[in-house]
Amino acid sequence: MSQQNPACYSATRTGAQALRNPSFFTFWLFLAIAFVCSVALAEEPDEKYLKIFYSIQDADVLNKSGKSEQALVKYEKARRDLMVLQKEYPGWSSSTLNYRLNYVGQQIATLQASGAGTVSNAAPRAAENQSPAAGGAGAAQVKLLSPGNEPRKVYRLHPTPSEMQKSVMNLKISMDIKTGEMQMPSVNMPAITVLLDLTPTSIDANGTISYDMVIEDAAVADDPNANAQVAEAMKASFGNVKGLSGKGKMSNRGINLETTMKEPAGADAQMKQALEQMKEILGNSASPLPEEAIGVGARWQSTKSIKSQGMTIQQSSTYELTSAEGDLLNTKSTMTQHAANQKVKNPAMPGVDVDLVKMSGAGGGDIIFDLTRLMPQGTIDFHSEMSMAVNMGGQKQPMDMKMGMKLALEKK
């Protein structure tokens, strides 16, 4: 793929000339995929809160078992982490953070009053290296709106360890772009298909599921209706991820806790970017289950602040349970997204500054929770509109973009 940077283009070039650069298409491709994978639960502050919450649970266990000094170390670290989270995300669930800060503060005061002091340097490291608990109470981003009809049941994922699961992810994107007064031809991207092998390796006593994953195949379909340069850029970006592997952890409510991808030796910047994007998609392709018991007709909501590909997006997703048979839960989902004015620094396009003026999106689909599998099944249809100003070669150009995205998750 061409490595020519649009920022090096002369300011006298038109928007159409800039759009013909394949690396420009790569920028919007990664941006579009970031929007899609965010629909599937990308949740940075929520993940950070979950890890802190599970650390507090570990401290509670240590405290109840009489290991007061180790518990004190974990409570103190949790308080520091909560304060950092509160500072980094001032608009995120202040009531939840204040409640946890008060709780942790009370535990610290009680332990200090009982004589628990500073432990040796080795003890804190041992305590902090303990695996976080999973399961139990969920994070504040998932709210039960209605429990539904009787009978009700608490639902949790329970895959069989060592049993490989194959999943297929299909993604189709279309875009309409207008630069200034110039309307560009509609861009139809060829479909992307990713075949995943996911193998649960263990489930601990708290319900944390550890798993291995391998990208068995990643292909861009041949599409005579797709723009040739777009197809070339996409094939260059995704053609080399076949065979890549990684590891992950998720709670038994489908909340991603950790995702890592093994970087091949000699990976260039393009490969690293593709790896990072695949990490986001693979690590966040689950949907959350509520903590409480639910029945048919139940509705729950997940709200989150997403930070992906240099953009911060607010998202709200609502699920309604339409039927439940054994391990299969059928739901209908709706979602909305919006983003306020902000500067976007996308790693796929260094040197190109984007000022986002506004963004809004809406969509929905049918999601099937198979409690024996790590990834859900179903379809998502999402549409968004963005207004922005793109700085190329020192000249800002207004740009409006409409995107349509269809995502299908299937088992194989």
361 and 282 together in one domain: yes
* Domain contains 82: yes
Ranking 36-40, 104-108, 251-255 by mean pLDDT, the lowest is 36-40
- Statement to judge: residues 167 and 247 lie in one domain: yes
pLDDT at 329: 97
For residue 308, what pLDDT band results from cuts at 50, 70 and 90? low
Task: Kindly tell me if the per-residue pLDDT of 388 is higher than 70.
Answer: yes
Please state the rounded mean pLDDT for residues 367-372. Answer: 94
Query: Looking at per-residue confidence, does 28 or 325 come out higher?
Result: 325
- For residues 210 and 75, membership in a common domain is answered with no
Whether 261 is in a domain gets the answer yes
Number of domain units in the chain: 2
Using 50, 70 and 90 to split pLDDT, how confident is the model at 39? very low
In the prediction, which pLDDT does 21 show?
36
Q: Report residue 312's pLDDT band, with 50, 70 and 90 as the boundaries.
A: confident
User: Does residue 147 fall inside a structural domain?
Assistant: no
**Residue 139 vs residues 86, 105, 323, 376: alpha-carbon distances, Å:** 15, 19, 25, 20
For residue 55, is it within any domain?
Answer: yes
**Residue 264, helix vs strand vs coil:** coil
248 with 307, same domain: the answer is: yes
Burial of 247 (0-12, 13-18, 19+ CB in 10 A): middle
SS percent in the chain: helix, strand, coil, step 5: 30, 35, 35
Q: Is 146 domain-assigned?
A: no
CB 200 within 8 A of CB 162: yes
Residues 60 and 19 in one domain: no
Q: Extract the tokens encoding 132.
A: 């976080």
pLDDT of residue 87: 84
pLDDT band at residue 346 using 50, 70 and 90 as cut-offs: low
pLDDT at 350: 57
- Does residue 264 share a domain with residue 129? no
CATH number for the domain that contains residue 87: 1.20.58
Q: Which domain holds residue 167?
A: 6-42+153-411
Q: How distant, in Å, are the alpha carbons of 30, 186, 195 from that of 177?
A: 16, 7, 30
Q: Is the pTM of this model over 0.85?
A: no
**Whether residue 129 is found in the same domain as residue 187:** no
What is the per-residue pLDDT for 254? 86
d(CA 57, CA 73): 13
Same domain, yes or no: 315 and 377: yes
Q: Closest Cα partner for 372 from 209, 158, 170?
A: 158
Cβ atoms 400, 390 nearer than 8 A: no
Confidence grade of residue 284 (pLDDT, cut at 50, 70, 90)? low
Same domain membership, residue 85 and residue 29: no
Tokens of 392: 């190329």
Which of the residue ranges 168-177, 254-263, 270-279 would you say has the lowest mean pLDDT?
A: 270-279
Question: Is the pLDDT reported for residue 223 higher than 80?
Answer: yes
Give domain status of residue 143, yes or no.
no
- Higher pLDDT among residues 43 and 350, named by residue: 350
Could you tell me what percent of the chain has a pLDDT over 90?
Answer: 26
Q: What is the pLDDT of residue 222?
A: 87
Out of 153-162, 166-175, 336-345, give the one with best mean pLDDT. 153-162
- Output 117 or 275, whichever has higher pLDDT: 275
CATH value at residue 243: 2.30.230
Q: Are residues 89 and 180 in the same domain?
A: no
What are the pLDDT digits (tens) for 121-161? 333 322 222 233 333 323 337 889 999 999 999 999 999 99
Strand ranges in 180-284 using DSSP code E only, listed in sequence order? 182-183, 187-188, 192-203, 209-220, 245-250, 256-261
Helix (H) or strand (E) holding 104: helix 94-113
In terms of average pLDDT, the best of 120-124, 214-218, 240-244, 253-257 is 214-218
Residue 28: its pLDDT value, please? 46
- Please choose, from the candidates 254, 257, 340, the residue with its C-alpha nearest in 3D space to the C-alpha of residue 300: 254
Residue 27 lies in a domain: yes
**Whether residue 125 sits in one domain with residue 166:** no
Is 142 contained in some domain?
no
Mean pLDDT (the chain) is 76
| pLDDT for the residue numbered 383 | 92
Is 368 a residue whose pLDDT tops 90?
yes
Same domain, 298 and 319: yes
